[in-house]
């Protein structure tokens, strides 16, 4: 007998349709479950296939880790069973911790200083090594020079030059003075008398042009003061003629009342060298002949410390010719003398002496003498 469809009295849901739907849902779920289970099995199998087999060493390491973990757990359990620290203990621990932190900061500063010290040490060490190399080089050079010095034979002692100290006597007031400079191995004869003769002639011609002031003095001769700057300017480029190639100057010092004569010989090419002093016709021989012709003539030598041998040879020849002579040690490279006449205008006179006790008298200057 055919089944009869039942409906609810209210015209609601059909029970057969509901059952069919549930059957379909259950079937789908079963199918999904089968598929999921198959996929999970596949994933698990793939995971197992991808796993690296554990080696004995790995197993031993894992056991050691498990043992350490269990020991730590035991320590934690023992610590948890202990009584809680007292407030005083906590404060003490805090104080100790603060001290440790302070000590740590000090240690950091000390470590920073230590790093600086290490840098300084490295710098000093590098400098020391550099100086050591330089010292080694210097010592090697010193040893080389000492070896060279040891190989040089000792020089023979020079024969000393003996110069006798003369028995001096004063120069006559009316003597005609000639000068000879012994310097750099040469004798330079200076004749200021010939120069002054030319100067006097020129001054006589132009004295009125050079007059600065005339002062009349009652009962005495008039005083004439001349312009020294004009005189010096006139003789600046003056042609003195042949004076043995010597440079002649007339100098007007603005602080002086007198002119000065300066004669500078040619120290390189002028004069007469030692080995030609006795040669006839040499400048020294000609000058000696001129001096010998003047019975009032005296020859004064100015001897530099480097030319004693030259002086001794020239003096030997002068003594042989019976020329009155004297000498002094003098290394000046020029001859100078004060020109007593004329008086010149002083541009920068010295200030008057301050009132008070007079200065003690100065000793008289040492005059050249004959020997």
Q: Is the pLDDT of residue 7 over 50?
A: no
281: left (phi over 0), alpha (psi -120 to 50) or beta: left
If you ran DSSP here, which 8-state letter would residue 218 be given?
A: T
How is the beta sheet containing 176-183 ordered, strand by strand?
Answer: 272-273, 186-190, 176-183, 297-303, 325-329
Question: pLDDT band for position 197 (50/70/90)?
Answer: very high
Counting beta carbons within 10 angstroms of the beta carbon of residue 337, is it exposed (0 to 12), middle (13 to 18) or buried (19 or more)?
A: middle
Give the tens place of pLDDT for each residue, 301-319.
Answer: 999 999 999 999 999 999 9
Instruction: Give the pLDDT score at 161.
Output: 60
Return the percentage of the chain with pLDDT > 90, whole number.
28
pTM over 0.75: no
């Amino acid at each position: 007998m055919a089944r009869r469809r039942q409906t609810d009295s209210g015209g609601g849901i059909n029970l057969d349709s509901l059952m069919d739907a549930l059957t379909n849902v259950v079937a789908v779920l079963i199918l999904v479950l089968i598929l999921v289970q198959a996929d999970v099995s596949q994933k698990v199998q793939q995971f197992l296939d991808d796993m690296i087999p554990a080696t004995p060493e790995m197993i031993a390491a894992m056991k050691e880790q498990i043992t350490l973990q269990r020991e730590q757990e035991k320590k934690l359990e023992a610590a948890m069973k202990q009584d809680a620290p007292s407030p005083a203990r906590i404060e003490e621990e805090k104080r100790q911790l603060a001290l440790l932190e302070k000590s740590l900061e000090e240690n950091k500063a000390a470590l920073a200083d230590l790093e600086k010290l290490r840098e300084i040490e490295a710098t000093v060490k590098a400098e020391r090594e550099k100086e050591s190399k330089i010292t080694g080089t210097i010592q090697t050079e010193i040893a080389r020079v000492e070896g060279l010095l040891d190989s040089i034979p000792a020089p023979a002692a020079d024969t000393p030059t003996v110069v006798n100290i003369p028995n001096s006597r004063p120069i006559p007031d009316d003597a005609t003075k000639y000068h000879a400079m012994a310097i750099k191995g040469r004798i330079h004869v200076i004749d200021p008398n010939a120069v002054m003769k030319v100067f006097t002639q020129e001054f006589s011609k132009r004295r009125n042009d050079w007059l600065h002031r005339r002062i009349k003095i009652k009962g005495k001769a008039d005083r004439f003061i001349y312009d020294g700057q004009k005189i010096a300017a006139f003789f600046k480029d003056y042609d003195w003629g042949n004076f043995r190639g010597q440079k002649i100057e007339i100098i007007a010092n603005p602080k002086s009342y007198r002119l000065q004569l300066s004669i500078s010989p040619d120290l390189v090419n002028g004069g007469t060298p030692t080995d030609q002093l006795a040669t006839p016709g040499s400048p020294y021989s000609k000058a000696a002949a001129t001096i010998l012709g003047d019975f009032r003539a005296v020859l004064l030598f100015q001897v530099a410390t480097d030319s004693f041998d030259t002086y001794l040879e020239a003096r030997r020849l002068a003594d042989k010719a019976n020329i009155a002579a004297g000498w002094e040690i003098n290394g000046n490279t020029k001859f100078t003398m004060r020109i007593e006449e004329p008086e010149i205008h002083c541009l920068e006179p010295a200030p008057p002496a301050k009132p008070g006790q007079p200065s003690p008298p100065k000793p008289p200057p040492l005059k050249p003498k004959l020997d």
